Chain A
């Protein structure tokens, strides 16, 4: 389903992937050196004590030339990644839409769009992680360009850590589920904020007898994700346009409910409503799990500051708040017993030839390893 790329398109993404890798492994670690060697000592001399919060660290680092160059280059790289993706997909937007329509028509029951689903303000206010038009811009009827751009560029952003098909989180989740609940066959699975279904497909594959429902707000993502899944030979996923804060499904109708890197893109109140819905929809004996970047609690102010960069400079307005939220407490407040609520780590499962976390330095928020929080009903 993906856009067809020319030699130059590929070279542009090759450059960006290598640039991101170089930034993560060579330039980003320099911030810790600058902080330790000159920023923290100068602050301590002025203030009488070292910076104690990430806000103070950011204030202290703001004038540091290494940090400034790293930040400005990182932001430039993100804008270039968007431009490269848009120049790739917009010139073939009409043929991509036709292809999605054709593939989709082979399994039309797998896509349910609902034009009455409104984009909430927490999504429309800012274009998410600097994607012009965010996930949902439609330039014409049937447009999938936002999704095709997302798909094309994500490999460059994550430098292979999410796997060849960018499904490392979904594959990791399926493997984790099979390890922790051996033999369990969830009959109905719900993926919240599925995007183009990168991480829906691995669950549908791992549980071929299950009925998988994948919801998202953005029609272009769903159209593309549906066509992509059909193209990959899957018939047990239904992509459905809905707001996860208010889902059109019956109480206790899903055995397994999950989300991958979704909650940080929702607001304070939306997050709570989404977790209300997950609690309502979870069947007796079922399980929910949410993959995210790790919470800030227990981290040094410097590490918090590094991880918080995206909130300020990559249009991730709810990033900080989510990482300060105590998700286990929110699940307990929704009636899950303390002993059924858990926190764990889920690693990306990727092809042998792809880089692995551990071999590569994690680029603060882009590594192939996630904090997971969930609860059993």
Chain B
């Protein structure tokens, strides 16, 4: 995996992001909430697969899941996943910040915050 390419995952399309509500913060918030809804569905689907496989093979009981504690390696992996997850949710803020930074790096006046 090329880390420079991974940084491009959350790139914004050129052109101004439209806003539909009287207050553009509502659009931002909805974008975050909706990304979260998507990720919840992703998790739910994975969990559903897992539960069905476990039940099919009679491997794990509900009580085993409740009693599980991650070791150091598992905890680290979970932390990395959380960071990627949060970046996905807060994409909309990161993109605006990137644009601001790019304008500032170009030496021009900072663009006004999108209405």
Contacts and interface: CB of A to CB of B under 8 A. Distances in A.
Contact-size category for B: 35 or more
A357 interface: no
Main secondary structure of the interface of B (DSSP, over half): helix
A306 B111 CA distance: 31
Given A7-B49, A126-B14, A73 B8 contact: no
B15 interface: yes
B32 to A, nearest CB: 9
Contact of B42 (A15, A94, A133): A15
A247 to B, nearest CB: 28
A91 B6 contact: yes
A72 B11 contact: no
Given A14-B45, A132-B13, A73 B30 contact: yes
A12 to B, nearest CB: 5
Interface in B1-44: 1-2, 4-6, 8-15, 17-21, 26-27, 30-31, 34-35, 37-39, 41-42
B46 A7 contact: yes
Contact of B5 (A14, A67, A91): A91
A16 interface: yes
A11 B9 contact: no
Nearest to B18: A313
A83 B46 CA distance: 19
A127 B45 contact: no
Q: Which of B12, B34, B38: most chain A Cβ within 10 A?
A: B38
A127 B8 contact: no
B18 A8 contact: no
Contact-size category for A: 35 or more
Contact of A72 (B1, B30, B88): B30
Contacts of A312: 18
Given A11-B46, A72-B20, A93 B5 contact: yes
Contacts of B26: 72
B42 A82 contact: no
B14 A80 contact: no
A90 B9 contact: yes
Contacts of A72: 19-21, 26-27, 30-31
Contacts of A62: 20
Given A68-B21, A71-B20, A90-B6, A76 B34 contact: yes
Given A83-B10, A86-B11, A127-B15, A76 B35 contact: yes
B21 A83 contact: no
A313 B19 CA distance: 9
Given A7-B45, A90-B6, A132 B34 contact: no
B34 A315 contact: no
Interface of B: 1-2, 4-6, 8-15, 17-21, 26-27, 30-31, 34-35, 37-39, 41-42, 45-46, 49, 88, 91-92
19 contacts: A7-B46, A11-B41, A11-B46, A14-B41, A72-B30, A73-B30, A75-B20, A76-B34, A79-B12, A79-B13, A79-B91, A80-B34, A83-B9, A86-B10, A90-B6, A132-B13, A139-B4, A139-B5, A145-B5
The 9 closest A-B pairs by CB, nearest first: A127-B13, A11-B45, A132-B11, A15-B41, A130-B13, A11-B42, A68-B20, A71-B20, A127-B14
Interface of A: 7-8, 11-12, 14-16, 19, 62, 67-69, 71-73, 75-77, 79-80, 82-83, 86-87, 90-94, 125-127, 130-133, 139-140, 145, 312-313, 315
